[in-house]
Each structure stands twice: as structure tokens, then as C-alpha cells.
Amino acid sequence: MNHPATARDAVALPLPVVSPVTVPVAGRGQPFTVRRIYCVGRNYIEHIREMKEGDERDPPFFFQKPADAIVTDGKVPYPVLTEDFQFELELVIAIGRTPDPDPAQALSAVLGYAVGLDMTRRDRQREAFREGRPWEVGKSFDASAPCGTILPVETGGHVLSGPLTLELNGRIAQQSELEKMIWNVPEIIVQLSRQYRLMPGDLIYTGTPAGVGAVRVGDRLLGRVAGLPELDVSIVAAR
């Protein structure tokens, strides 16, 4: 007679080994281990007007991507479930310690800065927007957060102003200045800290200017922000 299997009879399967997600830091042998990725929505007036999805008087808001959305090898696979895969060039803040409650001390939490891309399944994002659903399907998918090498504050200082330029196949697609952000770096840190406890390992993508557009397999994106290490990315076929 066969007896039903019990928990004691079950075969223990080995737990998968998950490597931490890291981003290189210029001049340091130790990389930056990513804990969370926060993104600022609608932080440039020109981009708000471009997308026609909000009032430019509205405050920016925050959403998240999974830590393993980070790409550091320069290869971004074209994702499934989209026919409109778009780029958004952004300044990235790397948090080195939990911010002080005093807004005047907000910058002391910053370890450094990098160039990032908020890759977006725009068709899925627009569907979610129309239907009042969360944005995850359009924003929070595999390989959606390419990030360049972090330049630490002790080397490059705080990156609060300067140009942003993205080239698509050698042609300028996005061009603006960090001074045009609605919320600047310390303000972003203060506002985000009121919603979450920022900790070492957090990255903040600070929003994109106008000029976002679609890419195809074989395209090359070259992002530059205020003298930080360049971000050079190619769109490749899905694995």
C-alpha cells in the first residue's frame, strides 16, 4: 500500500546562489553593492511637456526597479513584451550612508555619482498610465537600469550642475543641463527620505530631460553627464 509523501520524505533541493549586484567605483578596488534602485518621475519640465502625461506643476514622484536590473557590461538585450523600447538618460546618485534628518546635511549621504539609463517599455507604460495601473510592467524589468562607473565625491566633488548629452548612433538625441531639474540632488534625497529609509547601496536615478526615443537591436547609446565616466551601451538581441 502506498502512503502519501510527508515533509520528512521530501528531497531538499539546493538553494540557488545569488551573487550581489555591483557597480564599479572609479579609483577603488571595492565595487558598490546595490541594495535598491529608486527613480524620480517627471523631474524636467521639457520631458513632462513631451510626454503629455502630467501637469508640470505636479511634484515629481518615485518608483523602483529591482537591483538586478543593473547592467554594467554595456549590453542591453531588447526585452520581450514591447514594440517601443525607449531610452532615458539620467544622473545617478549613489548613497553611501543613511541621510541626516537635517536637509542642510543631505549631500553628506552621497558616496558618488554616475551616468544611468532608465530603459522603458513605453507602450506598456502608456497602457498602465491609461488604465491607472502601476508602472512596473513598463519600468521594472530585466536589464532596464544600465549604470556607468561611479565617480566618488572625494574625486569629482558633488555633481549639481553641468550638461547631459545622449548620442544615439553618433547623433545627439538628448541634451540638457542638470540645473533644469525641478528637484535638485539634495532636495531629491530629502523628499525620498521622507518615504523610505535610504541606506548604503541605494541608487537614485534623478529623471530625464526631453528627447527620449526608441531603439532597435544594433543601436548604440553613449551617455555623458557633467564630466562623469561615460556610459556606452549597445542594444543586443534577447538571450
State the chain's maximal CA–CA distance in angstroms. Answer: 77
Residue 225: closest CA among 175, 152, 153, 171 = 175
What confidence tier does 37 reach under pLDDT thresholds 50, 70, 90?
very high
Residue 233: closest CA among 167, 173, 178, 172 = 167
Torsion of CA 52, 132, 187, 45, to 10 degrees: 0
- pTM, two decimals, is 0.90
Question: What is the model's pLDDT at position 218?
Answer: 98
Half-sphere exposure of 12 (CA within 13 A, CB side): 3
* pLDDT of residue 2 exceeding 60: no
125-173 pLDDT per residue, tens: 999 988 999 889 999 999 999 999 999 999 999 999 999 999 999 999 9
Q: Set out the domains of the chain in order of their start, with CATH numbers.
A: 22-236 (3.90.850.10)
